[in-house]
Amino acid sequence: MKFIETKLGTLVDLFGGELASFNGDGQPDPGLILSGIQSLEHGQACHLGFFTNPKLKEQLRKSAVGVVMVRANQFDELLQFIAEEPGSKPAKIAWLVPDPYLYYARIQQWWVQQSSPASVPGVHPTAVVMNGAQIDPSASVGPLCVVGENAVVGPHAILHASVVLGRDVMVGEGSRLYPNVSVYDECEIGSHCIIHSGVVIGADGFGFANEKGAWIKIPQVGKVVLADHVEVGANTTIDRGALEDTLIGFGVKLDNQIQIAHNVVVGEHTAMAGCVGVAGSTVIGARCTVGGAAMVFGHLNIPDGTHVSGASVVMSSIKEAGAYTGIFPLQEHKDWEKTAVSLRQIVKLRTDVRDIKNNKL
């Protein structure tokens, strides 16, 4: 992305912090022109960088970026480290901030907003708008979109090409739906949400009753409700509830290719990495994290502040918040076969040990 050129002093005025020199040249120049954020390894003199990992000190020592954000309480230590190798050429200017990674996120958001072309309000001529739909004049509806009957598209919302909104769908202020998003009837998307391409919100939950070996469909009459500031990654699916609604809380972040089943509740500010699967009617608390490819069984409760490692399988409710991991260690296949056989014998081994303790053997 091509970023607009911006003075360093402008960024400091906007976001705070102090400037210092890495090479003893005196007062840093706030008039330095920057044209984006880059890594320490690949950045040039026109770039802003950030230092967060102590293992990358050597990169800092050799970096060509013009300015680097560092923690204020680490600056003296970094100066000493750089001085240990005379002739090294680190960034000329240090920007002392409380949390460089958080500053990187905030500044990059600002820079992207400033550098991106503004959306054009209005409805594209190829879009189809059904009877009763309400589209705010400041919203943008792109080519080949379909806006269903009585749907509402809020102020400054953006529907990119081929988005489909069903009947009575609501899209809140400032939300952005990327191409080929499908939102089924009656579902609600809050304000300032980001929904990436291929997402399906409100498809039927997987509900069937068995009648003599045949599956009888249970109509799914709930909906999906996304609170404000939710982000949903590409090709993720969130099923509508069977009776009650599927609820995604404020500030939740869902990665690509996640499956959220019917009646699931996800608490505010919880984040899930790619390929997570959450089965029906599970309640996940606030500020939880779920690592990539983890599976969560249905009808469980996970308390606030719980962290589940990637590829783990949660089979029962978690009673106390903490960090949980259930990953079978990777082995060579021949060794894995031996381990698997041993695991199948654990129940018998446990019985034998109990009998030994009870002097029965």
Indicate which residues carry an active-site annotation: 262
Which residue is associated with the tokens 């391409």?
197
Which residue is associated with the tokens 């102590």?
54
The angle, 0 to 180 degrees and rounded to 10, between the axes of the packed helices 8-15 and 100-115 is 120
Please state, in angstroms and rounded to a whole number, the distance separating the CA atoms of residues 163 and 179: 6
**Best CA proximity match to 261, nearest among 250, 248, 271, 270:** 248
- The values of phi and psi at residue 85, to 5°, are -125, 90
Please state, in angstroms and rounded to a whole number, the distance separating the CA atoms of residues 151 and 108: 33
Please state, in angstroms and rounded to a whole number, the distance separating the CA atoms of residues 147 and 127: 8
Sheet holding 194-195, edge to edge: 122-123, 140-141, 158-159, 176-177, 194-195, 231-232, 253-254, 271-272, 289-290, 307-308, 323-324
Q: Which tokens go with 237? A: 């699916």
**Best CA proximity match to 246, nearest among 191, 288, 187:** 187
**At residue 136, what is the residue type?**
D
Task: Work out the end-to-end distance of the chain between its first and last CA atoms, rounded to an integer number of angstroms.
Answer: 73
Cα 99 to Cα 61, 69, 74, 135: the distances in Å are 20, 9, 11, 40
Q: Are 154 and 171 in contact (CB under 8 A)?
A: yes
